[in-house]
């Protein structure tokens, strides 16, 4: 009898671990080799951001993304000055607000990003933020690494 109870407890523990790992993950992979750098559990509708110093205007820029239906959508961006590659006009549904710190906040972007890739800075870092945790992409992936951000479903 004790062996049967122990077997049931073990089975329930294993099932609990397996089921708790199922779901959507933000996966960072090397664009060239496919090497996985990291995997972060994400809930439907959860956001993450990538921040960096813009190479031309040398001011901070942060892009915010959301996981929806197993895909990555850009939802807003925050920057401090205009420069090459920085949005200068609003698209339909987008709004521009100014932060107290002088930032420009464009929200309502809501655009599917079929392939999200960042090249980690050589002189300044790119940082990933998830649930308040800030992760250095330079430390995680290395300077100059081309990193694909993917949303993958883990079945186990």
Q: Does residue 13 sit within a domain?
A: no
Q: Does residue 19 sit within a domain?
A: no
Q: Does residue 18 sit within a domain?
A: no
Q: What is the pLDDT of residue 91?
A: 85
Q: Does residue 34 sit within a domain?
A: yes
Q: Does residue 7 sit within a domain?
A: no
Regions in the chain scoring below 70 on pLDDT: 2-21, 55-56, 82-87
Helices (H) and strands (E) counted in the chain, each on its own, are 2, 11
Q: What is the pLDDT of residue 20?
A: 53
| Domain extent at residue 118 | 24-154
Cα gap 92→124, rounded to integer Å: 33
Secondary structure of residue 137 in the 3-state scheme: helix
Secondary structure of residue 4 in the 3-state scheme: helix
What's the distance, Cα to Cα, between the start and end of the chain in Å? 30
- The pTM of this model reads 0.82
Q: Does residue 86 sit within a domain?
A: yes
Q: Does residue 55 sit within a domain?
A: yes
Number of domains within the chain: 1
Displacement of CA 81 from its chain's centroid (Å): 23
Q: Does residue 85 sit within a domain?
A: yes
């Amino acid at each position: 009898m004790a062996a049967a109870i122990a077997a049931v407890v073990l089975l329930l523990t294993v099932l609990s671990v397996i089921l708790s790992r199922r779901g959507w993950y933000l996966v960072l992979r090397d664009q060239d080799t496919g090497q996985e750098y990291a995997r972060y559990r994400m809930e439907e509708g959860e956001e993450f951001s990538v921040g960096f110093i813009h190479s031309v205007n040398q001011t901070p820029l942060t892009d915010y993304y959301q996981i929806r239906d197993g895909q990555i959508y850009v939802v807003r961006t925050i920057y401090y000055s205009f420069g090459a590659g920085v949005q200068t006009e609003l698209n339909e549904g987008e709004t521009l607000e100014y932060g107290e710190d002088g930032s420009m906040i464009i929200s309502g972007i809501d655009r599917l990003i079929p392939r999200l890739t960042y090249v980690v800075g050589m002189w300044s870092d790119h940082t990933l933020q998830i649930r308040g945790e800030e992760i250095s992409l330079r430390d995680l992936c290395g300077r100059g690494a081309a990193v694909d951000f993917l949303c993958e479903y883990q079945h186990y």
